[in-house]
């Protein structure tokens, strides 16, 4: 039987005979013989079920009526649970995370599952446990997000401190403050953004955090345009924000930011051609624009990928033992392979094989590494 989640009115509900406890079977048979219960085969369920012979029994059988009054809260809650469970079971796998139980409803069903485990099927039990795990993960993510917001506040504090000290202290102390503020901003861009990437941080929130980091870096850069560390941080902020805008569905905005980053990266690489980190940043900026243009202008994207690949091959030749350069090279090979997939399959396969060989080598060198 079930109770309406809204009104509490009782109605019949077939119960699969196989799901009932074996110890209850003798009593069920006696109730069937007394015509209080009915056993039938359910075409929709594909199995035998039992149900109350008539809903009038809910009112005229005093013992049953008293029991139902005691169980009304549970039966109403079970009715709401059944609706949620049916929705969760029927949605696509990708949408299940949004259909789990939460809040008081989850707390109540966890308590009922502990008190009445036989009233839930194994699949329903799994649903409750999945909901509990999702809530725990959400709490963990929220704690991380609070830490991220706190890090953003620290960046603002570092910037404010820098300008305050710059106006009142000697040039050497001001430079130290600039360095500290830059390092804090870098922590936000390189560490925070990467930490949250792919872990459920809403794109709008990631966009806001990274945009704030970009604005702070631009303030730091004012009057310090010649500082290469600051300029490199600006490139990273622009590229990260561009990537977020791409995910957010704003390819034009993403392309504009990526091009700004490329101009700065080109300037840094031309001023210090022997600086391998600047060369690497240039290849990243080229790839970022290529990613944004991939669908609208694959030919141009391919040109940018190939230019980045040439830089990465050169870096690997200069430092063959640098695993970061090796990973970058394998990424470039795969991106070009993806772009050539339809027009030149043979060349694409050759590039994939070269990238695979690099990754196999890296795994052999660092079997415990989890880096992408």
> Residue 244: which of 200, 206, 215 has the closest Cα?
206
Query: By the 8 A CB rule, do 103 and 132 touch?
Result: no
Phi, psi of 16 (to 5 degrees): -60, 125
**Res 309 pLDDT > 50:** yes
Please give the residue that has the higher pLDDT: either 302 or 232. 302
- Predicted pLDDT of residue 170: 45
Please give the residue that has the higher pLDDT: either 327 or 153. 327
Q: Where are the domains of the chain?
A: 2-76, 294-372
- Predicted pLDDT of residue 151: 54
Q: What is the pTM of this model?
A: 0.49
Instruction: Render pLDDT for 46-78 as a digit per residue (tens, 0 to 9).
Output: 888 888 777 666 665 666 666 666 677 777 778
Query: By the 8 A CB rule, do 322 and 316 touch?
Result: yes
Query: By the 8 A CB rule, do 367 and 332 touch?
Result: no
| Alpha carbon distance 15, 21 (integer Å) | 11
Structure confidence at residue 310 as a pLDDT band (50, 70, 90): very high
Compute the mean pLDDT over every residue in the chain, rounded to the nearest whole number.
76
- Predicted pLDDT of residue 282: 92
Instruction: Render pLDDT for 202-214 as a digit per residue (tens, 0 to 9).
Output: 556 666 666 666 6
Q: What is the CA radius of gyration of the chain?
A: 31
Taking residues 119-136, what's their average pLDDT? 87
**Res 190 pLDDT > 70:** no
Phi-psi label, residue 54: left if phi above 0, alpha if psi -120 to 50, beta otherwise? beta
Structure confidence at residue 96 as a pLDDT band (50, 70, 90): confident
- Predicted pLDDT of residue 171: 47
Instruction: Render pLDDT for 349-361 as a digit per residue (tens, 0 to 9).
Output: 888 899 899 988 8
CA angle (216, 219, 222) in 5-degree steps: 150
The secondary structure of residue 187, as a DSSP letter, is I
Instruction: Render pLDDT for 239-290 as a digit per residue (tens, 0 to 9).
Output: 877 877 777 677 888 888 889 889 988 998 898 889 999 999 999 999 999 9
| Alpha carbon distance 363, 339 (integer Å) | 26
Instruction: Render pLDDT for 131-189 as a digit per residue (tens, 0 to 9).
Output: 888 887 776 655 555 455 555 555 555 555 555 555 555 445 445 555 555 555 555 55
By percentage, how much of the chain surpasses pLDDT 90? 12
């Amino acid at each position: 039987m079930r109770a309406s989640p809204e009104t509490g009115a009782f109605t019949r509900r077939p119960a699969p005979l196989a799901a009932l406890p074996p110890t209850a079977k003798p009593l069920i048979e006696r109730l069937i013989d007394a015509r209080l219960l009915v056993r039938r085969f359910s075409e929709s369920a594909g199995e035998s079920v039992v149900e109350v012979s008539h809903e009038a029994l809910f009112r005229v059988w005093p013992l049953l009526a008293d029991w139902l009054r005691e169980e009304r809260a549970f039966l109403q809650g079970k009715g709401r649970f059944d609706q949620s469970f049916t929705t969760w079971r029927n949605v696509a796998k990708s949408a299940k995370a949004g259909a789990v139980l939460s809040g008081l409803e989850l707390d109540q069903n966890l308590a009922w599952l502990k008190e009445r485990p036989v009233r839930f099927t194994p699949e329903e039990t799994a649903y409750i446990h999945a909901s509990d795990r999702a809530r725990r993960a959400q709490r963990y993510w929220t704690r991380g997000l609070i830490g991220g917001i706190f890090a953003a506040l620290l960046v603002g504090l570092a910037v404010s401190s820098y300008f305050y000290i710059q106006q009142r202290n000697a040039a050497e102390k001001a430079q130290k403050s600039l360095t500290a503020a830059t390092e804090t901003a870098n922590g936000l861009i390189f560490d925070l953004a990467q930490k949250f990437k792919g872990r459920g941080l809403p794109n709008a929130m990631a966009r806001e955090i990274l945009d704030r980091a970009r604005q702070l870096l631009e303030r730091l850069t004012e009057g310090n345009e010649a500082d290469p560390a600051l300029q490199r941080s600006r490139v990273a902020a622009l590229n990260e924000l561009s990537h977020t805008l791409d995910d957010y569905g704003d390819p034009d905005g993403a392309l504009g930011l990526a091009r700004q980053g490329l101009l700065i990266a080109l300037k840094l690489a031309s001023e210090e051609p022997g600086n391998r980190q600047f060369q690497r940043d240039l290849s990243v900026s080229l790839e970022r624009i290529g990613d944004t243009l991939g669908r609208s202008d694959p030919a141009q994207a391919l040109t940018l990928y190939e230019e980045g690949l040439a830089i990465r091959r050169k870096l690997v030749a200069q430092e063959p033992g640098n695993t970061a350069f090796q990973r970058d090279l394998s990424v470039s090979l795969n991106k070009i392979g993806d772009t050539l997939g339809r027009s030149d399959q043979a060349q694409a396969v050759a590039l994939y094989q070269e990238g695979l060989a690099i990754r196999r080598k890296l795994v052999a060198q660092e079997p415990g590494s989890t880096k992408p």
